């Protein structure tokens, strides 16, 4: 079988999408077994949780890179380029490397099919690509972001991570992970392994009880992130300054108030690595946190009027967004752009967001899971004075920016899948505005 080129590799991945999300480790273990189990040679930092995983990984990556380490990072979903899922020191996997690895995986899948075995899902194939690539690149550390849940997520084939990190947990993906916080916590806590260090971010009491019980059964005493140690000192469009315990006047460029919490989780994780794994100097950590970037999380994308995109896609994310808006933009008129997935609790999200705005423009995200704008508008009429709907993100931006005044605030959220389209539409609007 000839090697695929990049376009053929992407086509192969896309055809696997029809299988959807199927949790479990059996397919992963069989596929990895045919490929010499590359994950066993990786030193992984495994990150699970409902919100904040990507931001925490961004902080960790930047700090470890400042220490001169080679850092692989596996994350999802894609915002701009498919290859951003798999990076080494911030550089996307090369197209040729991706094509070669997909070819190897396709050959292994053909053997599985010959043996009458169930074929892997698209996320499982992507995870195997990441393992193969990071092993090939001889990474010092791998930041491994859980796709969904934890216990049965494809990333959980790693047997002994150097560190497990649990970010805040809330209700999300209830059809797959459980209908209660305790059930979801049990799934996400499945990444905690025997005698492996654990950092746990701020949690609701019933979540913390489940996670601590899991730690106890694994013989681990977790490091807990304590909000009483966190104090925000300064906020502007250029960044934030906060203190956390012994860490004073820490600067970060990520803007949402919740990013101070994510940075505190990263600080606890880095201190854990200092203790058990690698010599990190304080300046590596503070410089890394200051340099960290993570697009689509309370990101300013336009100035006339001020336009912000945020990845809030569940009620907890919506509440965190509202907190930042109320604290820093009180008194300004806010226009909401909202595109959501059908399987999300969009009614609750809409209710929460209505506390900062009385108008919303609804549209469909550019995926099969996207809810039609008209259906979303119908569901939210109860909460807003004015509800409109359009077909897509570009039309939503056009409609709102036509009406918004210079000192208003435009906020787009609901799904990470909408961010690229919204950002492009705002750029086009501003370019057209400048020419007139």
At 390-408, the pLDDT tens digits run 999 999 999 999 999 999 9
Q: Within 13 Å and on the Cβ side, how many CA atoms surround 97?
A: 18
Q: What is the pLDDT of residue 28?
A: 94
Report the C-alpha gap between 419 and 309 in whole angstroms. Answer: 7
Q: Boundaries of CATH 3.90.190.20 in the chain?
A: 299-435
Structure tokens at 333: 């008129």
Q: What is the pLDDT of residue 346?
A: 95
Q: Boundaries of CATH 3.40.1190.10 in the chain?
A: 6-291
* Main-chain phi, psi angles of 270, to 5 degrees: -70, -35
Q: Are strands 71-74 and 299-303 parallel, antiparallel or unpaired?
A: unpaired
Report the C-alpha gap between 415 and 370 in whole angstroms. Answer: 9
Alpha helices by DSSP H, listed for 354-408, are 373-380, 393-403
Q: What is the pLDDT of residue 76?
A: 84
Report the C-alpha gap between 55 and 267 in whole angstroms. Answer: 12
Torsion sign over Cα 322, 211, 47, 132: negative
Q: Within 13 Å and on the Cβ side, how many CA atoms surround 291?
A: 16
User: Which CATH number applies to 6-291: 3.30.1280.10, 3.40.109.10, 3.40.1190.10, 3.40.50.300?
Assistant: 3.40.1190.10
* Main-chain phi, psi angles of 307, to 5 degrees: -120, 135
Query: Along the 436 residues of the chain, how does pLDDT read in single tens digits?
Result: 578 899 999 898 888 866 667 888 999 999 999 999 999 999 999 999 998 999 999 999 999 999 999 999 999 888 888 899 999 999 999 999 999 999 999 999 999 999 999 889 999 999 999 999 999 999 999 999 999 888 999 999 999 999 999 999 987 777 778 889 999 999 999 999 999 999 999 999 999 999 999 999 999 999 999 999 999 999 998 999 999 999 999 999 999 899 999 999 999 999 999 887 777 899 999 999 999 998 888 999 999 899 999 999 999 999 999 999 999 998 899 999 999 999 899 999 999 999 999 999 999 999 888 999 999 999 999 999 999 999 999 999 999 999 999 999 999 999 999 999 999 999 999 888 766 5
Neighbour-count burial of 333, counting CB atoms closer than 10 A to its CB (0-12 exposed, 13-18 middle, 19+ buried): middle
Q: Torsion angle of alpha carbons 134, 138, 143, 145, nearest 10°?
A: 20
Mind listing the pLDDT tens digit for each residue in 169-180?
987 777 778 889
Q: What is the pLDDT of residue 1?
A: 58
How many of the other CB atoms lie within 10 Å of CB of 275?
11
- List of residues 6+ apart from 38 with CB closer than 8 A: 32, 131, 132, 134, 135, 136
CA 91 from centroid of its chain's CA atoms? 18
Dmax of the chain from CA atoms? 66
290 with 252: CB under 8 angstroms? yes
Q: What is the pLDDT of residue 430?
A: 87
Q: Are strands 86-88 and 71-74 parallel, antiparallel or unpaired?
A: antiparallel
Structure tokens at 45: 């930092």
Domain 299-435: CATH superfamily is: Mur ligase, C-terminal domain (3.90.190.20)
Report the C-alpha gap between 322 and 37 in whole angstroms. Answer: 44
Structure-token match 């300046």, residue found: 283
């Amino acid at each position: 079988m000839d090697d695929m080129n990049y376009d053929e590799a992407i086509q192969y991945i896309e055809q696997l999408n029809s299988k959807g999300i199927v949790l479990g480790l059996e397919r992963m273990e069989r596929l990895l077994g045919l490929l010499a189990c590359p994950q066993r040679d990786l030193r992984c930092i495994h990150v699970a949780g409902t919100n904040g995983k990507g931001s925490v990984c961004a902080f960790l990556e930047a700090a470890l890179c400042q220490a001169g380490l080679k850092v692989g990072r596996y994350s999802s979903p894609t915002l701009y380029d498919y290859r951003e899922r798999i990076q080494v020191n911030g550089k996307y996997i090369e197209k040729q490397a991706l094509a070669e690895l997909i070819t190897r995986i396709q050959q292994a899948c053909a053997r599985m099919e010959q043996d009458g075995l169930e074929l892997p899902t698209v996320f499982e194939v992507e995870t195997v690509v990441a393992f193969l690539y990071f092993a090939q690149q001889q990474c010092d550390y791998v930041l491994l972001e859980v796709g969904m849940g934890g216990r049965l997520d494809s990333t959980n084939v790693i047997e002994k991570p150097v560190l497990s990190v649990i970010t805040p947990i809330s209700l999300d993906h209830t059809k797959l992970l459980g209908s209660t916080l305790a059930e979801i916590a049990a799934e996400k806590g499945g990444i905690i392994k025997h005698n492996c260090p654990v950092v746990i971010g701020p949690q609701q009491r019933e979540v913390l009880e489940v996670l601590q019980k899991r730690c106890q059964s694994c013989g681990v005493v977790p490091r807990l992130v304590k909000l009483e140690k966190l104090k925000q000192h300064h906020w502007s469009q250029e960044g934030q300054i906060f203190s956390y315990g012994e860490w004073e006047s820490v600067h970060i460029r990520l803007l949402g108030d919740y990013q101070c919490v994510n940075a505190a989780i990263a600080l606890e994780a880095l201190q854990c690595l200092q203790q058990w794994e690698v010599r990190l100097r304080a300046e590596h950590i503070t410089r890394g946190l200051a340099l960290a970037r993570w697009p689509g999380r309370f990101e300013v994308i336009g100035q006339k009027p001020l336009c912000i995109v945020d990845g809030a896609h569940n009620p907890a994310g919506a509440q965190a967004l509202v907190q930042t808006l109320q604290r820093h933009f009180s008194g300004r008129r806010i226009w909401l752009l909202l595109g959501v997935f059908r399987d999300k609790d969009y009614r609750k999200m809409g209710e929460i967001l209505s506390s900062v705005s009385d108008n919303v423009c609804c549209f469909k995200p550019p995926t099969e899971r996207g809810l039609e704008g008209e259906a979303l508008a119908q569901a939210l009429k109860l909460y807003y004075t004015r509800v409109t709907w359009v077909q897509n993100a570009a039309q939503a931006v056009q409609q709102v920016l036509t009406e918004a005044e210079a000192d208003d605030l435009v906020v787009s959220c609901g799904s990470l899948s909408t961010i690229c389209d919204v950002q492009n539409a705002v750029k086009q609007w501003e370019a057209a505005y400048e020419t007139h």
